[in-house]
Amino acid sequence: MAAFDHTGKVFVVTGGSRGIGESIVRTLAAEGATVYSTYNANAERAQAITADVAERGGTVHYQSVDVANEDAVKAFVDHVVQQAGRIDGLVNNAGITRDGLIMRMSSKDWNDVLQTNLTGVFYACRAVARPMMSQRTGRIVNIGSIVGLGGNAGQVNYSSAKAGLVGLTRSLARELASRNILVNCIAPGYVETDMTDKLTEDQKKAFSDSIPLKRSATAEEIASVVSFFLSDRSSYITGQVLNVDGGLAM
Ligand SMILES: NC(=O)c1ccc[n+]([C@@H]2O[C@H](COP(=O)([O-])OP(=O)(O)OC[C@H]3O[C@@H](n4cnc5c(N)ncnc54)[C@H](O)[C@@H]3O)[C@@H](O)[C@H]2O)c1
């Protein structure tokens, strides 16, 4: 059952071919939106999701876009505006990890994570700002992480990028509020996806045990909060960071 009605809305979701992004795409399409999403490497998976969403009466269009590439992001957003005529919401979901303790972290691993997880978000926000400003309405939802707030050993690159998203969210919320563009950030805790599949079973159990709700989140539990932030039901919320973490970071 759809929780929100996004009929007629046009949403852009980065990194939508698996994990949390796929769930966001499927949720928004099921709720009536036309979704434009990106994949990075797996064209077959994007095709399979497109077909499955269509079978359920929804619409998603995928394009291969590297969010770390300024020109590619701009061209993608221009293409959406040209095809759909508007962009009601942008979800910055694409992200990578290159974990390691600082003594062993290469400059490349630092730069790659900052470029994809923070600079890529800047590129996408800048690209949608103009169409949203002329529409005088818009929503931007950034997928951060609780480690951007509390830090995490072995993730100075990732947590710095996610902390940067908090500043970006708040500054942009202030900048765009007068045009009725709302900008918020969701900070998930532990969600079982390919990204966290690198953890050992022992690490997963220890992690789950430390969460007050005693379990990881499903990707759908993140997607439903994204949908709320894109909906009319959140019309007075901007510049916020909402932890969706089972109580982990209280
Ligand atoms: N899984 C978790 O526990 C967790 C917790 C907190 C935050 N997050 C955040 O949620 C988001 C989604 O994570 P996930 O767990 O689904 O991870 P995932 O690795 O399953 O998916 C990440 C997606 O981003 C895409 N992507 C990566 N680099 C890209 C690039 N340069 N250009 C375009 N697309 C690119 C990938 O293709 C993939 O579709 C990320 O921003 C992540 O940091 C995840």
Nearest CA to ligand 1 atom 7: 145
Q: What is the dihedral of CA 220, 154, 140, 223, to 10 degrees?
A: 0
* Residue to mutate (ligand 1; options 96, 195, 221; most atoms within 8 A of CB): 195
- Helix 156-176 to helix 107-114 angle (10° resolution) is 30
Which segments of 64-217 does DSSP mark as H helices, in order?
70-84, 107-114, 120-135, 147-150, 156-176, 201-209
Cβ atoms 153, 169 nearer than 8 A: no
Alpha-carbon distance of 93 to 144, in angstroms, equals 8
Please write the tens of the pLDDT for every residue from 116-165.
999 999 999 999 999 999 999 999 999 999 999 999 999 999 999 999 99
Alpha-carbon distance of 250 to 115, in angstroms, equals 29
Please write the tens of the pLDDT for every residue from 213-223.
999 999 999 99
| Pairing status of strand 138-143 against strand 181-188 | parallel
Whether 123 is catalytic is no
Please write the tens of the pLDDT for every residue from 90-119.
999 999 999 999 999 999 999 999 999 999
Mean pLDDT score, 226-236 = 98
Rg of the Cα atoms in the chain: 17
Please write the tens of the pLDDT for every residue from 163-206.
999 999 999 999 999 999 999 999 999 999 988 888 889 988 99
Pocket of ligand 1 (CB under 6 A): 14-15, 17-21, 38-40, 65-68, 93-96, 116, 143, 145, 188, 190-191, 193-196
* Residue to mutate (ligand 1; options 93, 109, 203, 241; most atoms within 8 A of CB): 93
Q: Which residue, among 123, 115, 95, has the nearest Cα to 191 in the 3D structure?
A: 95
Q: Is 241 helix (H, G, I), strand (E, B) or coil?
A: strand
Per-residue pLDDT band for 1 (boundaries 50, 70, 90) equals low
Nearest CA to ligand 1 atom 21: 19
The domain limits of the chain are 10-244
Q: Which residues pair with 140 in a beta bridge?
A: 90, 183
Q: Which atom of ligand 1 is nearest to the CA of 217?
A: 3
Q: Which residue, among 72, 225, 243, has the nearest Cα to 146 in the 3D structure?
A: 243
CA of 41 relative to ligand 1 center, distance in Å: 13
Beta-carbon contacts of residue 103 (< 8 Å; ≥ 6 apart): none
Architecture of the domain made up of 10-244: 3-Layer(aba) Sandwich (3.40)
Alpha-carbon distance of 104 to 65, in angstroms, equals 30
Q: Which atom of ligand 1 is nearest to the CA of 147?
A: 6
Please write the tens of the pLDDT for every residue from 48-70.
999 999 999 999 999 999 999 99
Cβ atoms 113, 97 nearer than 8 A: yes
Cα atoms found within 13 Å of the Cα of residue 68, Cβ hemisphere only: 11
Q: Which residue, among 59, 52, 57, 8, has the nearest Cα to 37 in the 3D structure?
A: 59
Cβ atoms 40, 114 nearer than 8 A: no
Q: How far apart are the first and last CA of the chain?
A: 30
177 DSSP 8-state letter: G
